[in-house]
Structure 1
Amino acid sequence: MGDENKLTQGLVQVYTGDGKGKTTAALGLGLRAAGHGLEVEVIQYLKGSSYTGELYSTERLPNFTIKQFGKGCSYAALIKQGLMDCTGCGDCFVRNSKDREFHENFIDLAYKYTKEILEEGKKDIVILDEINNAVRYELLSTEGILELIELKPERTELILTGRGVPEEILKKADLVTEMKAIKHPYQQGIKSRRGIEY
């Protein structure tokens, strides 16, 4: 890709808050950028190999890559085939810091991979999905994220998602959006829906 397709200036964005839509917003930005020929890399922290629509739709886009670093879903194949729905068991997404050493290994791998991607400087958009939760669960330090922000090439857009962003990171960001939970279908007993939540 030629320089004419590159960003003239890359910023740091944060999507946080207790409401739904952080990953969705980041993926939407990535899809828009891919449509302009930009190279997009999504690195998912604390999310394992599970069935989500974005994994399969982005396989059709040569300039949009998703890498997952987390525990896998036992039912992914059945969910993909439409033989069952996501039960919301949470096995594929860390909600606390139990089995600390197990999760730390995934975080270490994700962090090393992120550093490599930023140091290479070949990606225009780098989305670190749920990285803020890694800090929240004390599996990654605030200083670690600040180091990644410093590694960001000038023309690379860096997007961080997840709840509970430390103040130091908010200060470094150029754009911060807080998703606020006002009402959610879960409160009505409606489970995750194929094509909407996964």
Structure 2
Amino acid sequence: MEGRVEVYCGQGKGKTSCAIGHCIKAAGQEKRVIIVQFLKGKDTEEISFIKRLEPEVQLFRFEKYEKPYKDLNEEEKKEQDHFIFNGLKYARKVIDTRQCDLLILDEVLGLLDLGLIKPDDLVKLLSERDDELDVIMTGRSLPEELIAHVDGVYQIETVKES
């Protein structure tokens, strides 16, 4: 079966939660799932839940600081950038070695927003994947030039928040 590339983007909350829903479904089908998470900081509520899904779902985070990237000072951001690039290298290794059936790149689109990577970097990463590998990417915005390289784009927006 042909693998799909899907994107969950938008200003609303729940993009990571959608991706985790796919993880649970895939794990229930005895598929191997790897999540590589970017920009979240060490302290997010999903972590403890995801840890309970191991070994079927494995979470990899390349964060040095407790707080999210947006809250770091310039020196901390520079240092964190090194860890982010290690996360991208790891994602490439996962793709090269076919370690999973579903790869989640959580908040990878945020790396584009920050100018840490270019759309071409993601296009190259996606082009290296096995035809059967499913990939889900999340983040706030999806550049036009990536749309041709994905199978589904789901816009999450907040209609009302009290």
Give the TM-score, by structure 1 length: 0.75
What letter matches 1:55 in structure 2? I
Which portions of structure 1, spanning 4 or more consecutive aligned residues, are displaced by more than 3 angstroms?
none
Across the aligned residues of Structure 1 and Structure 2, the Cα RMSD in angstroms comes to 1.7
Is the contact between residue 50 and residue 57 of structure 2 (CA under 8 Å) also seen in structure 1?
yes
* Other-structure match for 1:123: 100
* Other-structure match for 1:188: none
* Other-structure match for 1:34: 27
SS at match of 2:69: coil
What letter matches 2:52 in structure 1? R
* Other-structure match for 1:167: 144
Residues 124, 183 of structure 1: alpha-carbon distance in 2 compared, 3 angstrom cutoff: same
What letter matches 1:183 in structure 2? K
Is it true that 1:108 corresponds to 2:101 in the alignment?
A: no
Is it true that 1:179 corresponds to 2:156 in the alignment?
A: yes
Q: Using the alignment, how far apart are the partners of 1:116 and 1:172 within structure 2?
A: 20
Q: Deviations over 1:148-170 (max 9, x none)?
A: 11111111100000012111112
* Other-structure match for 2:38: 45
Displacement, 1:183?
1.6
Identical amino acids, percent of aligned pairs: 30
Greater relative CO (CA pairs within 8 A, separation 6+): 2
**Could you say which structure has the larger radius of gyration?**
1
Displacement, 1:141?
1.5
What letter matches 1:153 in structure 2? D
Give the TM-score, by structure 2 length: 0.90
Is it true that 1:94 corresponds to 2:86 in the alignment?
A: no
Displacement, 1:98?
5.1
Is the contact between residue 46 and residue 103 of structure 1 (CA under 8 Å) also seen in structure 2?
no
Aligned length: 159
Is it true that 1:15 corresponds to 2:15 in the alignment?
A: no
* Other-structure match for 2:50: 58
- Structure 1 unmatched runs, 5+: 1-7, 74-90, 186-198
- Structure 2 unmatched runs, 5+: none
* Other-structure match for 2:130: 153
Q: Using the alignment, how far apart are the partners of 2:153 and 2:61 within structure 1?
A: 24
